[in-house]
């Protein structure tokens, strides 16, 4: 992906990688998922959005592939990552911007909108509900849809903490194929991002996998704060996502200036496995924002 690369120094002395693609007047800062993932799977947005209208700012969060990867578990918290986003905005010189967050990046987007609303011209929350309790409730529904023998296998291995057993990983992979990205084989960019996951960051915040949440953000809940998010917002979801589509609709209804679009054929990475339904509402939303 061609663009203008900058390495930003954070206040804690560590460095994060950024790249700007496009020449348009509207800046969009992109927050990747994970936690501990990287930006590469989001590069598909540069192929779908008109780059004469938008400037896309990709960045790898601290701990991610192209940025510094310190071995300090105290750094892996929602609060510190939130302040990192603000430092990146300042470092890039973005006074007003559209913030796009996917999955874990959507959690950071919600947090940023609550803490720094004055810098937001718009907010896109892609495939992220406003509480981990809502997330795990839906995960349990997805697990219960498995054949009983597979449910029993998951429960048995999890009771022993044996999250790396080949049979356990086989069942998790089946869930990933149905709900994470529904394309087979995986797109190269998606496979690379998943393969570069920083396991320490991921397990500290999330847990052992997408379907077991035991990490530091397990009690995160912003349902009651949604009415405070008063920037124009778009909530994107998908029918086969790990995030409950009904919860996403309700989320948009509780935000004063939000709309919601659910991709009927997509999973958690609907920008890849249901692009025909993902990009039209995104483009319509961006076109409707006040010009820069």
Q: What is the dihedral of CA 62, 214, 134, 238, to 10 degrees?
A: 60
Among 101-110, 153-162, 221-230, which is the least confidently predicted range? 153-162
Catalytic residue flag (residue 193): no
The two structure tokens encoding residue 220: 């995160």
CA dist., res. 104 & res. 286, Å (int): 21
pLDDT-based confidence at 290, cuts 50/70/90? confident
Averaged pLDDT of the chain: 96
pLDDT confidence of residue 204 = 97
Q: Find, among 67, 33, 70, 87, the residue nearest to 202 by Cα.
A: 33
Task: Report percent pLDDT > 70 for the chain.
Answer: 99
Decide: 47 and 3 in contact? Cβ < 8 Å.
no
CA dist list (Å): 34 to 83, 170, 250: 17, 20, 24
What does the pLDDT look like over 157-215, one tens digit per residue? Answer: 988 989 999 999 999 899 999 999 999 999 999 999 999 999 999 999 999 998 889 99
Is 90 exceeded by the pLDDT of residue 30? yes
Domain 4-287: which CATH class?
alpha beta
Q: Active site includes 268? A: yes
Beta-sheet pairing, 54-60 with 97-102: unpaired
Exactly one of 103, 134, 193, 252 is catalytic; name it: 103
pLDDT at 177: 94
Q: What is the pLDDT of residue 291?
A: 73
Lowest mean pLDDT among 1-10, 86-95, 179-188: 1-10
Report the side by side order of strands in the sheet with 233-238. 4-9, 15-21, 54-60, 26-31, 97-102, 120-126, 233-238, 258-263
- 3-class DSSP state of 2: coil
Looking only at Cα atoms, what is the longest distance across the chain?
56
| Whether the predicted pLDDT of 292 surpasses 90 | no
- Among 241, 244, 273, 274, the one annotated catalytic: 241
Q: What is the mean pLDDT of residues 55-68?
A: 98
| Candidates 134, 138, 268, 273; catalytic one | 268
Mean pLDDT of 214-233: 97
Q: What is the pTM of this model?
A: 0.96
Catalytic annotation present for 162: no
Count CB atoms within 10 A of the CB of residue 84.
23
pLDDT of residue 1: 64
H/E element, 28: strand 26-31
| Residue range 285-292: mean pLDDT, rounded | 88
């Amino acid at each position: 992906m061609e663009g203008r690369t900058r390495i930003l120094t954070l206040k804690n002395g560590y460095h994060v990688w950024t790249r700007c693609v496009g020449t348009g007047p509207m800046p969009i800062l992109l927050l990747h998922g994970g936690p501990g993932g990287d930006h590469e799977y989001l590069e598909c947005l540069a192929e779908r959005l008109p780059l004469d209208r938008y400037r896309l700012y990709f960045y790898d969060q601290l701990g991610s592939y192209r940025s510094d990867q310190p071995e300090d578990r105290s750094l892996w918290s929602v609060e510190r990552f939130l302040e990192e986003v603000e430092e990146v905005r300042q470092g890039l010189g973005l006074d007003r911007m559209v913030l796009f967050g996917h999955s874990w990046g959507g959690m950071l987007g919600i947090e940023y909108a609550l803490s720094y609303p004055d810098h937001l011209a718009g907010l896109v929350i892609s495939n992220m509900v406003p509480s981990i309790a809502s997330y795990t409730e839906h995960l349990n529904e997805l697990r219960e849809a498995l054949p009983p023998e597979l449910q029993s296998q998951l429960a048995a291995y999890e009771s022993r903490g044996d999250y790396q057993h080949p049979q356990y990983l086989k069942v998790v992979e089946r869930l990933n194929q149905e709900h994470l990205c529904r394309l087979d084989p995986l797109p190269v960019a998606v496979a690379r991002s998943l393969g570069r996951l920083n396991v320490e960051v991921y397990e500290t915040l999330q847990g052992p996998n997408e379907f077991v949440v035991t990490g530091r953000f397990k009690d995160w809940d912003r349902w009651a704060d949604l009415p405070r998010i008063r920037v124009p917002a778009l909530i994107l979801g998908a029918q086969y996502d790990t995030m409950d589509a009904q919860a996403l609709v309700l989320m948009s209804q509780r935000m004063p200036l939000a709309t919601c679009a659910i991709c009927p054929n997509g999973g958690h990475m609907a920008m890849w496995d249901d692009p025909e339904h993902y990009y039209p509402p995104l483009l319509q939303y961006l076109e409707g924002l006040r010009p820069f």
